[in-house]
Structure 1
Amino acid sequence: MAGQRVVVVGAGIVGASVAHHLTEHGFADVLVIDARSEGTLPGSTGLAPGLVGRLSSDRDLARLALDSVELYARRSGGFDGVGCLEVATSEAQLAAFADDVRDGAALGIEARVITAAEAGALAPGLVDDAAHGALFIPGDGTVDPVAVTAALIDSARGQGAQFRWNSPVRQLEEQNGRVIGVRLDNGVVRADTVVLAVGIWGPMLASTVGVQVPMVPVEHPYAFTTPSEDLTGEAITMPIVRYPEHAVYCRIHGTRYGFGTYDHEPVPAALGATAGRRFRDKVFEPALTRARKLVPALRTADVEKRINGVFALTPDELPLVGPVPEVRGLWLAEGSWVTHAGGVGKLLAEQLLGLSSGFVDPARLAPARFAGWSADRVAKAALPHYRGIYLTH
């Protein structure tokens, strides 16, 4: 790619990862463009609760997560391996954990079944009294998405990448079936390759050159409690806690509990200026109430803040990484969670540079796998995954 210029649109954790990996391989002609000012993350990265679960029912997702954890752990304010508990509220779920233990062993991810009492001791207040046991994954944990993104930006910049802030990309520029740049308010920035890493705004930008990105943005609730006396004093560390049968997850944020739920009908989202939306009381509040009844510490805690964040679903729950078939020079790094962003950036950089470490099959994540799908077919396939995606991530 000598003499080629790559423009990455989006400086969230995915775009920062792409820039970091490109420059780490010695390719420095990288320009990252973002609509925000440096130091702020109003997009999905800034709203992410920071849970990182490596074990997945999909082997490639697990590999992306493992690679991401390795990257984050080397960054200031990065990965904190507090572990994860998957709590079973039935004997059937407890028995199903045996499959997860086997899957983990095949991937080199430690996972073991423990008793309800052991789980309660690891995460006091977050394990239901009626639990039948839990799956404990000690190597999972949390990450500060803002801090890691800043560290990746610093790394990319130190290796030659340039960043342009406060510069919304209005459309892509195409000529003879090839992308030639991006249009800003003050003109066109030329590029040989354009990588879209803008999350939920990817479909809008791609549509300006007639490309349909197979994703559906959906809204999702997350809440923070008021400070808890149980969490004050010395810094307390405890695992992430998930309830797979109920699609509920929770963690501690300093002296507060944070929790989210997928236990409601999916709500497709219209695009806005940020990834945050007005909280939908009628849809989300009943689901949060069910979550609070399930988790002991949440039953009496007051909720201080409610967030409605937007993320994107794909038809098969896998990210979109690679070139689009319709327009030469246009690449996607879309549909990725923080959990997999480090690995997604590595995979895309390797493909662009003609390298391969073989840790993930690029064909499985290629945007071309949905070539010819209508928007209606994409939505019908993607939306049913809203609750199920919790089990994979």
Structure 2
Amino acid sequence: MQSTLSIQDLNTTPSSKRIFIVGGGIVGAALAFYLSKANTDRHIILLDRSLKKSLGSTGHAPGFVGQLNESAVLTRLARDTVAEYLTVPGGFNTVGGLELASTEAGVQTLQSRCEKARAVGLSAEMISAEDAAALAPDFIDPETVRTGLYFPSDGTANAQVITSYFTQEARDREVDFLEVDVVGFARNDGEIEAIRTADGDINLTGSSVILATGIWTSSLTGDKEVQITNFPVPIIPVAHPYTFTHPRPARSGKAYPFVRWPEHHVYARDHGDHDGLGSYDHAPLELKPEHSAIGTWPSSFDKVLSEATSHLKNGRDFLVQGRQDDSDPFEEKKPFNGIFSVTPDNLPLAGRVSDVENLWLCAAIWVTTAAGTAKLIAREVLRGSQDGISDSDVEVLKALEPARFQGVEGEVLTTQALERYNNIYNKEQ
């Protein structure tokens, strides 16, 4: 996709009715889509450093959408997100989600999760080890597990297809796009007065800005020269290993469900003509990403993947040794370090930044909750107040409030966020 305007165009014709979205991944594209659907008179402009290829986490997300979470807020947003993805052609495949347990404690955890799922209206059932293996026979040896928990309405999202759809729909509704590298902001009298880019400043003249910048959000809001907000923005980028099998013919019949081994912090999915596997079973590694959400490969990840593959029946088919070369490991289907964000409470930071008049955040959001969160925030940006908002929405917005970490030291928040990395699989918090 090409830019539809220039910085000069924006500075020549300033307007207070503009909404700038910074970040063109799945969250930014969804914001542009939902804002443009509202038939508002606002001029919506999406800025991203690359309109041709996703450089953020969207470009390599595993794509599993599991709707049940220990957080009622995340469960609500995930269910809303699935409803939206199902409207995107080729965007969502309802293959189901399967969790496995090998110990008595693990069995009890799955039984508890099954009850919670049913209590909120999600379809869920406990199944035998043999039935679980029948759903994904290449992945699961029934001799190694005791039971499974199956969620038939979960599935896999094609993040790039969804992002392209949202982007094109937004463009058809006259949203403008500008390929530019945003490097910071200028603040004056409690609001952002300019967006600083590598190609010059964009003057805002009262416009609104929404940051959908994922793993780069903290560095953009906490610039050493210009501190945009007085509140901490603890969105911590972390390393995460993911790998593949060599290409193979697509399996006949229905695709495998997304499979998780919570006791081992391992997950796997059927990608069609190859399989993928990821692991959280390692000490969290904080990173400072530069131009891409794919980081350098830590040699320690070779062992992490080797141990992770031991839990799969076809584990020997997976590549476990990362390599450093000029190729894109995601595109080449070899082990890669996929960077994503964690926060101290595992929730996104989404909503108005209360000490900056014209700034909103919509960040630290996974594909699992991207559309639901973006739709809610887009509505609130246009509403401008909470008049007429439902009690449920009030609860969600309060939980996502960007200023909720006020008064806590940055080092404490970082430590708390990193601890969340090892609790990805819905452990009781």
TM-score range, shorter chain: over 0.9
Q: Identify the range of structure 1 (299-308 vs 270-279) with the bigger mean alpha-carbon deviation.
A: 299-308
Report the Cα offset of residue 294 of structure 1.
0.7
Q: In structure 1, what is the Cα distance between the partners aligned to 2:102 and 2:339?
A: 29
Q: Cα–Cα, structure 1 residues 234 and 134, in superposed 2: closer, same or farther, change >3 Å? A: closer
- The residue number in structure 1 matching 2:208 is 193
- Which amino acid letter does the alignment assign opposite residue 24 of structure 1? K
8 Å CA contact 2:243, 2:319 repeated in 1: no
Q: Cα–Cα, structure 1 residues 301 and 277, in superposed 2: closer, same or farther, change >3 Å? A: closer
- The residue number in structure 2 matching 1:113 is 126
Would you say how many aligned residue pairs link Structure 1 and Structure 2?
387
Find the partner of 1:172 among 155, 170, 185.
185
- The residue number in structure 2 matching 1:324 is 353
In the TM superposition, 1:192-271 aligns within 5 A as 192-208=207-223, 209-210=226-227, 211=229, 212-228=232-248, 231-232=249-250, 234=252, 236-271=254-289
Report the Cα offset of residue 325 of structure 1.
2.7
- Which amino acid letter does the alignment assign opposite residue 285 of structure 2? V
Report the Cα offset of residue 102 of structure 1.
1.9
Q: Is 1:5 matched up with 2:14?
A: no
Find the partner of 2:316 among 299, 323, 334.
299
Q: Cα–Cα, structure 1 residues 392 and 49, in superposed 2: closer, same or farther, change >3 Å? A: farther
Q: Is 1:272 matched up with 2:264?
A: no
- Which amino acid letter does the alignment assign opposite residue 5 of structure 1? R
Q: In structure 1, what is the Cα distance between the partners aligned to 2:215 and 2:424?
A: 17
Q: Is 1:381 matched up with 2:416?
A: yes
Report the Cα offset of residue 121 of structure 1.
0.4
Q: For 1:248-307, what per-residue CA distance to the aligned partner results, in whole angstroms no more than 9, with x for missing partners?
A: 00001122110000000000002211111111122x121111111111111344456101
- The residue number in structure 2 matching 1:135 is 149
- Which amino acid letter does the alignment assign opposite residue 346 of structure 1? K
SS in 1 for 2:53: coil
Q: Identify the range of structure 1 (250-259 vs 324-333) with the bigger mean alpha-carbon deviation.
A: 324-333
Report the Cα offset of residue 4 of structure 1.
2.4
TM-score (norm 2): 0.86
8 Å CA contact 1:79, 1:141 repeated in 2: yes
Q: Cα–Cα, structure 1 residues 358 and 180, in superposed 2: closer, same or farther, change >3 Å? A: farther
CA RMSD of aligned residues (A): 1.9
- Which amino acid letter does the alignment assign opposite residue 150 of structure 1? S
- Which amino acid letter does the alignment assign opposite residue 263 of structure 1? D
- Which amino acid letter does the alignment assign opposite residue 192 of structure 2? V
Report the Cα offset of residue 215 of structure 1.
1.4
8 Å CA contact 2:216, 2:289 repeated in 1: yes
TM-score (norm 1): 0.94
8 Å CA contact 1:10, 1:198 repeated in 2: yes
Q: Cα–Cα, structure 1 residues 103 and 41, in superposed 2: closer, same or farther, change >3 Å? A: same
- The residue number in structure 1 matching 2:158 is 144
SS in 2 for 1:369: coil
Q: Is 1:334 matched up with 2:363?
A: yes
8 Å CA contact 1:216, 1:378 repeated in 2: no
Q: In structure 2, what is the Cα distance between the partners aligned to 1:150 and 1:33?
A: 15
8 Å CA contact 1:8, 1:194 repeated in 2: yes
- The residue number in structure 2 matching 1:390 is 425
- Which amino acid letter does the alignment assign opposite residue 259 of structure 1? L
Q: Is 1:48 matched up with 2:61?
A: yes
Structure 2: unaligned runs, 5 residues or longer: 1-14, 321-332
Report the Cα offset of residue 336 of structure 1.
0.6
- Which amino acid letter does the alignment assign opposite residue 148 of structure 1? I
Q: In structure 1, what is the Cα distance between the partners aligned to 2:35 and 2:207?
A: 15
Find the partner of 1:346 among 371, 375, 378.
375
- Which amino acid letter does the alignment assign opposite residue 306 of structure 2? T
- Which amino acid letter does the alignment assign opposite residue 310 of structure 1? I
- The residue number in structure 2 matching 1:288 is 305
Q: For 1:75-96, what per-residue CA distance to the aligned partner results, in whole angstroms no more than 9, with x for missing partners?
A: 1221100001000111221122
SS in 1 for 2:422: helix
SS in 2 for 1:263: coil
SS in 2 for 1:201: helix
- Which amino acid letter does the alignment assign opposite residue 147 of structure 1? V
8 Å CA contact 1:262, 1:390 repeated in 2: no
Q: Identify the range of structure 1 (211-220 vs 136-145) with the bigger mean alpha-carbon deviation.
A: 211-220
* Identity over aligned pairs, percent: 36
Structure 1: unaligned runs, 5 residues or longer: none
8 Å CA contact 1:261, 1:288 repeated in 2: yes
SS in 2 for 1:325: coil
Find the partner of 1:315 among 327, 344, 350.
344
Q: In structure 1, what is the Cα distance between the partners aligned to 2:412 and 2:275?
A: 38
Q: In structure 2, what is the Cα distance between the partners aligned to 1:271 and 1:279?
A: 13
